């Protein structure tokens, strides 16, 4: 019995880690305000000739595309006074793959939330008064795992973000349709590597803050109950 609940504890901890990360991915992917800040930080208006107003429209169109069944992605923006279709067929094809990756990410988010909820509910049902201590220890464990994973990714990204980013693409897009030219393709001009390093930092920082806050809250609660 103890071994079984020990396994449940590890499943709950991993579910918490996945829930934190996927939720933060979802939040950042749908934040136009964050897009604008990162566009400014990476000088995208100056590099592309697309005003911030138009870039906001580009970001909103892409976000709408990710939440719809519409294919292919069509984005039109005004550049130096002329209406231009930003993305070619290869770029649109890659964005379709990105959409499917988001779909999988959101499924993981929903599944991890369900697993965590079921684990907590089952623990409360079986262990009654002992449930709070068990669940608290599992969530603390998950918080530590999340913080450790973020620390490892942060160090790897600081040392070799380009290589980590490339590895992610090889894993996420095994077909290999992710190589574009910064001279001719607006997809990598509007969303340069700096955009992705910044958004990765935001996701990591959010996850780290949430994990630390949860761990601290549990420690504080345990002291009150003792």
Q: Are 13 and 139 in contact (CB under 8 A)?
A: yes
Measured CA to CA, the distance from residue 127 to residue 134 in angstroms comes to 9
* Residues facing residue 79 across a β-bridge: 82
SS3 content of the chain, % helix, strand, coil (to 5): 80, 5, 15
User: What stretch of H or E contains 115?
Assistant: helix 89-127
Angular region, 70: left φ>0, alpha ψ -120 to 50, beta rest: beta
Could you tell me which of 205, 190, 208, 157 has the C-alpha nearest to residue 35? 190
User: What stretch of H or E contains 84?
Assistant: strand 82-85
Q: Per mean pLDDT, which range of 18-27, 125-134, 135-144 is the poorest?
A: 125-134
Spell 160-169 as b/e; 16+ CB within 10 A means b: ebeebeeeee
Taking all residues of the chain, what is their mean pLDDT, rounded to a whole number? Answer: 90
pLDDT tier at 89, thresholds 50, 70, 90: very high
For the cut 90, the answer to whether the pLDDT of residue 6 exceeds it is: no
Average pLDDT over residues 92-113: 95
Could you tell me which of 102, 110, 145, 161 has the C-alpha nearest to residue 9? 145
pLDDT tier at 82, thresholds 50, 70, 90: confident
What does the pLDDT read at residue 64? 96
pLDDT, tens digit, for every residue of 42-74?
A: 999 999 999 999 999 999 999 999 999 999 999
pLDDT, tens digit, for every residue of 155-213?
A: 888 888 888 888 888 888 877 677 888 888 999 999 999 999 999 999 999 999 999 99
What does the pLDDT read at residue 1? 54
Measured CA to CA, the distance from residue 149 to residue 143 in angstroms comes to 10
What does the pLDDT read at residue 210? 96
- Domain borders along the chain are 2-225
Q: Where are the alpha helices (DSSP H) in 2-84?
A: 2-29, 32-41, 44-48, 52-66
Q: Are 39 and 55 in contact (CB under 8 A)?
A: yes
pLDDT, tens digit, for every residue of 130-161?
A: 888 888 898 999 999 999 999 998 888 888 88
Measured CA to CA, the distance from residue 187 to residue 164 in angstroms comes to 20
């Amino acid at each position: 019995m103890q071994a079984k609940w020990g396994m449940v504890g590890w499943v709950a901890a991993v579910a918490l880690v996945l829930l934190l990360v996927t939720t933060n991915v979802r939040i950042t992917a749908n934040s136009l305000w964050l897009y604008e800040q990162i566009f400014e930080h990476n000088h995208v208006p100056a590099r592309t000739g697309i005003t911030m107003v138009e870039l906001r429209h580009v970001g909103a169109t892409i976000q709408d595309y990710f939440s719809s069944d519409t294919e292919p992605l069509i984005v039109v923006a005004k550049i130096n006074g002329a209406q231009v279709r930003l993305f070619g067929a290869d770029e649109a094809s890659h964005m379709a793959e990105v959409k499917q990756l988001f779909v999988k990410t959101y499924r993981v988010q929903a599944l991890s939330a369900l697993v965590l909820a079921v684990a907590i509910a089952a623990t409360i049902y079986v262990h009654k008064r002992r449930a709070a201590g068990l669940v608290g220890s599992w969530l603390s464990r998950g918080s530590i795992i999340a913080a450790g994973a973020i620390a490892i990714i942060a160090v790897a990204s600081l040392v070799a973000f380009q290589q980590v980013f490339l590895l992610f693409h090889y894993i996420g897009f095994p077909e290999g349709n992710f190589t574009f030219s910064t001279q001719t393709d607006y997809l990598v001009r509007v969303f340069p590597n700096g955009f992705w390093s910044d958004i990765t930092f935001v996701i990591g920082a959010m996850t780290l803050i949430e994990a630390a806050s949860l761990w601290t809250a549990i420690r504080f609660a345990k002291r009150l109950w003792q």
